[in-house]
Amino acid sequence: MAKKKTTTTAPDVEGSSDESTQIDDGKVLDYITGKPVADNDKERVRQRIARALFHEYGISVDDMEPDFKVKLDGSNKKIDIAIFEPGAEHTAENVRRLVVCQKELKLGDKGAYKMRDHEQAAKDLEFLKAAMTACEDCKYGLWTNGLEFFFFRVERTRFDVKFKPIGDWPLSDESIGTRDVASHAKLRRADPEMLRTAFRRCHNFIHGNEGMPKDAAFWQFLYLISAKLHDERQPNDARRFWAGRFEKTINGQRQLIDEQFDAEGQKAIRERILPLFDDVKKKYRTVFRGNDEITLSDRALAFMVSELAKYDLGRTDVDAKGTAYQEIVGTNLRGDRGQYFTPRGAIKLVVSMLDPKPNERVLDPACGTGGFLTATLAHLAHKFQEEKGIEPGAESTQEFNSIQDRLGDFVKKNLFGADFDPFLVRAAQMNVVMASNAEANLFNINSLEFPAGHLVGLPDAKKVAELGTMDVVMTNPPFGSEIPITDPHVLKHFELAHAWEQTEQGSFRNTGRLQSSLAPEVLFLERCVDWLRPGGRAGIVVPNGILGNPGDEYIRAWLLRRCWILASVELPVEVFISEADVNILTSLLFLKKKSHQDIQAADLGKEPNYSIFMAVAEKVGVDRRGNTLYVRTPAGDEVFEDVEETERIRIGGQLVTRTLRRKRKVVNDDLPKIAVAYREFRRRTKEPGK
């Protein structure tokens, strides 16, 4: 079979010239060179590392080279990434760091892997050490398979070369500090892929190496994340969430030892972290209980602190944090009691189309891990940045704090959520805290029983989240005939839980007879409308049957009488089958609640005509197995777009903006296009009820 090809141009990188390049199927454009390379498990690891070297460590791609040849045992061997003295010629004499990558480690069905220490991985590390020895001025090395990361610092004497395990590399212009300055170390905004890797490594270490069940491992992970976030808000000299180095006498010699790899150092980390977590429990009483405690071994605790300490989670993109966090939560809870966590693309579309404002009260009555809530915060943060003309990631400390204060104020006053599962309420609250440094109004209640019920969050919810008070409701409720609502004490409060009959005029009439059971999504639809104030907007994930089944016509008639239908977006099956293994067709239904006067006008046949936005998403960026889909031309060639990436780094005490221009494949995802089309539709078409 002939290979399909795409003609594009080489990237413009700091003065590089354009030249024609052909991209075969099964190839990707290398992040360092912009040239085609084979797309495989190993290459995906190398590309993530290359991105991190630029975005996290501040290393210029001009100072990197893939597949650099090093002479070992009389022959040339390729090193996956070589990093050179800034601005120097790419020769072995100028190599300062080396990276060896292996194919991506798959966790398998068990979802855990017992991660090795340096001694257990010694055989795999031999090649890296040999290459570092051959490059006589190489200072640092890294070996990784995408989950395991082994960092080294080289110590050379006249007679020996030693490889000291370290927790991480320094940034491009820094050296690794001693204990006295470790708490002042420069934190960095996380690259989204590397943050997901870090979260996955932490959770896997607890589950795989400590032998904890998944749910217990998650809570230990959550405790450490909360401690990290709290510590970031302290002055430098009061910070405790760090893993540094200390001097220790070994064989009669004073040496600098990384705390992470020494029993004495691991104990010192614990002595800092446990009191820090006690402070966290006092601050976030809705998330943590007094008897919550860190039960990790010294080794596991040191591993996690070292893994997380390098990142500035407060300044890392809200959406990146939410994606990484939801992935960890989802591994523990996916599929229980109809809990299928909504894919980020669908969440973003709902938030974009509803466009919540800072002064509006926003609710998710089945909030799960808080995906809609944190997406709302990301949406508002971007609005705040646009208002001030701030480039994301380039804001000053004063600008950053101002945006955080506005987000925190919104969270405390206007962000609401509820869920039947107390585990999820706590997990969602931590997600919101991670995004905004504030606790939202989240309640452990049964939204279908509200304002009745028995769960612990009911008294507080009744005070601040009464029915009819929300400006925006967005949710993906549990749905399915296998989890019907059968309690008559719940059903009797819903109009849609009664039997309806069609009149001679074609309308529907409530017979007053209660149905014996009903799928929860129908009741949630009514409850969402109940929670809205007149003029309030809702975006709800619904199974397509509600919109098309003949037997559900009374539901549609009920909705049309009480609400304006703003939009309907049909989703392909890939949305949920790739993330939750749920083979169901769904749509996003957007509503606006009518006023009492609007309903009366409709009953008298005086409702004005209005337009409804309708769209069908054929592609959402992934296939049924979760593989990324890219846009292709009619001839089958992949389409590329020009992308400009910037990173602000400090060189010689000066803040420098470094720009990188690359070409990348265009993901085949209709959802962002639908969001743009809806905004254009609203510019041309008056919203009903205005």
CATH of the domain at 65: 3.40.1350
Is residue 482 domain-shared with residue 339, that is, in the same domain?
yes
Is residue 151 domain-shared with residue 232, that is, in the same domain?
no
Q: Which residues 6+ apart lie within 8 Å of 380 measured at CB?
A: 356, 358, 406, 407, 410
Among 564, 519, 521, 560, CA closest to 540 = 521
Is residue 495 domain-shared with residue 459, that is, in the same domain?
yes
Local confidence band at 336 (pLDDT 50, 70, 90 cut-offs): very low
Residue 451 has pLDDT above 90, yes or no: yes
What length does the chain have?
690
Is residue 385 domain-shared with residue 422, that is, in the same domain?
yes
Q: Out of 176, 210, 243, pick the residue that ends a domain.
A: 176
Is residue 168 domain-shared with residue 294, that is, in the same domain?
no
pTM score of the predicted model: 0.86
Q: Measured between alpha carbons, how far is 248 from 266 in angstroms, rounded to an integer?
A: 14
Q: Measured between alpha carbons, how far is 231 from 238 in angstroms, rounded to an integer?
A: 8
Q: Which residues 6+ apart lie within 8 Å of 399 measured at CB?
A: 388, 390
Q: Which residues 6+ apart lie within 8 Å of 12 measured at CB?
A: 18, 661
Is residue 361 domain-shared with residue 508, that is, in the same domain?
yes
Torsion of CA 190, 191, 194, 200, to 10 degrees: 60
CA 261 to chain centre: 30
Question: pLDDT tens digit string along 452-481?
Answer: 999 999 999 999 999 999 999 999 998 876
Query: Residue 412 is part of a domain; what is its CATH number?
Result: 3.40.50.150
Tell me whether residue 639 is in a domain.
no
Q: How many CB atoms lie within 10 A of CB 71?
A: 12
Tell me whether residue 211 is in a domain.
yes
For strands 415-419 and 640-651, give the pairing. Answer: unpaired
Q: Out of 149, 176, 203, pick the residue that ends a domain.
A: 176
User: For residue 290, what pLDDT is reported?
Assistant: 84
Q: Is 680 in a helix, a strand, or coil?
A: helix
Q: Measured between alpha carbons, how far is 543 from 580 in angstroms, rounded to an integer?
A: 15
Where do runs of H (alpha helix) occur along 389-483? 397-414, 422-436, 458-464
**Contact call for residues 500 and 556 (beta carbons, < 8 A):** no
Instruction: Using a pLDDT cut of 70, give the percent of the chain over it.
Output: 89
Q: Out of 316, 331, 360, pick the residue that ends a domain.
A: 316
Question: pLDDT tens digit string along 139-179?
Answer: 999 999 999 999 999 998 888 899 999 989 988 866 444 33
Is residue 146 domain-shared with residue 96, that is, in the same domain?
yes
Tell me whether residue 634 is in a domain.
no
User: For residue 674, what pLDDT is reported?
Assistant: 97
Tell me whether residue 26 is in a domain.
no
Tell me whether residue 637 is in a domain.
no
User: For residue 272, what pLDDT is reported?
Assistant: 96
Better-predicted residue by pLDDT, 1 or 662: 662
The one-letter code for the residue type at 211 is: G
Is residue 218 domain-shared with residue 102, that is, in the same domain?
no
Is residue 312 domain-shared with residue 364, that is, in the same domain?
no
Residue 21 has pLDDT above 50, yes or no: no
CA angle 628, 343, 331 (to 5 degrees): 95
Local confidence band at 286 (pLDDT 50, 70, 90 cut-offs): confident
Q: Measured between alpha carbons, how far is 137 from 94 in angstroms, rounded to an integer?
A: 7
Q: Measured between alpha carbons, how far is 530 from 591 in angstroms, rounded to an integer?
A: 12
User: For residue 181, what pLDDT is reported?
Assistant: 42
For strands 415-419 and 441-444, give the pairing. Answer: parallel
Least confident of 154-168, 238-252, 426-440, 610-624: 238-252
Domain that holds residue 375: 318-626+671-684
Tell me whether residue 651 is in a domain.
no
Is residue 284 domain-shared with residue 331, that is, in the same domain?
no
Is residue 480 domain-shared with residue 565, that is, in the same domain?
yes
Which string of b and e fits 560-589 if b means at least 16 CB within 10 Å? eebbbbbbbbebbebbbbbbbebebebbbb
Tell me whether residue 388 is in a domain.
yes
Better-predicted residue by pLDDT, 120 or 188: 120
User: For residue 246, what pLDDT is reported?
Assistant: 77
User: For residue 210, what pLDDT is reported?
Assistant: 87
Tell me whether residue 664 is in a domain.
no
Is residue 484 domain-shared with residue 544, that is, in the same domain?
yes
Helix H or strand E encompassing 520: helix 520-531
Q: What is the DSSP annotation of 369-399? A: TTHHHHHHHHHHHHHHHHHHTPPTT---HHH
Encoded tokens for 681: 């539709």
Domain tally, the chain: 3
